Amino acid sequence: MDDTTIPQSRAERGRSLHDLPEEHGFVDCEIEGRLPEELSGTVYRNGPGLFSVFGHHYLNWLDGDGAISAFRFDRGRASAAARVTLTPELIDERAKKEAVYTSGSTVGPHWWRRVGGQQKNPTNIHVLAWHDRVFATTDAGMPIEIDPWTLETVGPWKLSGAAKAMVGAHSRRCPRTGSTYILGVAMGMTGMELDVYELPRAGEPRLVTAIGTHAFPFVHDFAITESHLVIAVPPLEVGVAGFLAGVSAPTKNMRWAPERGTEILLVERAAPHAVRRITTDAFFAFHFGHGFESSDGTTVAHLCVFDRFDPGEAFAIDRARSGRAWVDAAKSHLERLEIDANGTLRRTRVSDEVLEMPTVPHARETHRATWIYPLVTRDHHDRVGKLEVATGKIEIADLGAHRHPGESNFVPRREGTHEDDGWLLTQVYDASRHRSGVAVLDARRVSDGAVGTAWLSHHIPVPIHGTWVPGIPGR
């Protein structure tokens, strides 16, 4: 397939990968259709927002400086805000009026500043909400606190002093205890280690365990059950010599080593230093759906599995803008991992659909879910899906030929009585008008499409993940 035969939908999606055109506080949205009157709260989303700094262009769209967008819903109305996150590195570059730092796939312009391996933290992947505070998160540094009312940057947060080094993008909160778990990566006494932090309902964050790993612990997401954390460590070998010498970017030092297999870590929440390790055939997973324990004590987790990993070419900015990256990128499918009391692992493909970004209602985070809500790709076009886990049956919402949705967030109805009694919120890019909004779907009838959409007057570059925070601040 040459550039002239790239599907239109993929080329359209690539058009959004240009700088956030304006930053602003909350402004009224144009409403298409009708928004649910009961929908009350804010969905915060994070993603790359700027793709160059002082003329130095990033090679990979995931190197882009992060931007937080927020859509606030209240009594059938909506307003939205968008701002670039001011990381310490971006502040430093703006003060010097030049590019300074190496990012994941883009080396900095001056070799003498690259020596030693200081890396830019783009803080462009996810949003953590904890104790009425909002944080932009990444896989390459510390969270950055954001003012939830204005989206202005507050500053780096080292988990109240608990964080040792890099803190991961994804977090998982237990519905029963209210504790939030988040992972980190640090250099230990004998090599790399994967750190597990707990952010409790009351009290300060704490490091609960540090797990030594054989491979570089590139762990983007994980699952939580009532008793365990389920973590998949892919077989990535990372050399640091080139990075520390300032001659290459971090992703150029990664090698996929399938002969080593993927290691599944089963961490007991009540005794986190007790870790069961299970090695299986090599796979890579960006995202988990959810986890739970079955009645016989088997630990179950659903996740989107890739058979290979490409940290660089898959997200190259020029290829992403043209649409080729989305065509050539590895495809993922939903799998079920089952680990019995003896430590025996069974892997089962749940669906042959190409899908990613699976989510469940927060109330089902540690319990068996009837449905998972993924982003489904058919004919090179992304759609919101509702997948029945037991059967693999899937319901699809097509929002329109030129409209491209992202990850969905489930918001329960106040008086809902069934698991799917709620709303799905997905940020959507309308390529025909080059603007972005949030579409609201009835989770009971996904195939009906959006019941209403709140639109901004401009586009937001493709967001990655988001978090729903209920209620209106100050009310």
* Mean pLDDT for all residues in the chain: 92
The answer to whether residue 105 scores a pLDDT higher than 90 is no
The answer to whether residue 114 scores a pLDDT higher than 80 is no
Domain covering 3-470, topology: Neuraminidase (2.120.10)
State the average pLDDT over residues 74-83. Answer: 97
Which pLDDT does position 230 carry in this prediction? 98
State the average pLDDT over residues 391-395. Answer: 95
Find the helix or strand (DSSP H, E) in which 387 lies.
strand 381-388
Which pLDDT does position 473 carry in this prediction? 67
Q: Give the percent of the chain with pLDDT over 70.
A: 96
The answer to whether residue 314 scores a pLDDT higher than 80 is no
Sign for the pseudo-dihedral over CA of 138, 331, 409, 149: positive
Closest CA to 401 of 7, 9, 5, 6: 9
- Name the pLDDT band for 311 (thresholds 50, 70, 90): low
With a CB cutoff of 8 Å and minimum separation 6, the contacts of 384 are: 373, 375, 376, 396, 397, 399, 405, 408, 424, 426, 441, 446
Which pLDDT does position 1 carry in this prediction? 44
The answer to whether residue 371 scores a pLDDT higher than 80 is yes
Which pLDDT does position 402 carry in this prediction? 93
209-227 pLDDT, tens digit each:
999 987 778 899 999 999 9
CB contact at 8 A, 220 and 464: no
- Name the pLDDT band for 189 (thresholds 50, 70, 90): low
Which pLDDT does position 312 carry in this prediction? 62
- Name the pLDDT band for 253 (thresholds 50, 70, 90): confident
Which pLDDT does position 386 carry in this prediction? 98
409-459 pLDDT, tens digit each:
999 998 888 999 999 999 999 999 999 999 999 999 999 999 999 999 999
Sign for the pseudo-dihedral over CA of 284, 299, 468, 40: positive
| Higher per-residue pLDDT: 18 or 215 | 18
CA distances from 143 to 43, 58, 323, 395 (A): 18, 21, 31, 36
If you ran DSSP here, which 8-state letter would residue 414 be given?
A: T
- Name the pLDDT band for 366 (thresholds 50, 70, 90): very high
Closest CA to 305 of 268, 353, 362: 353
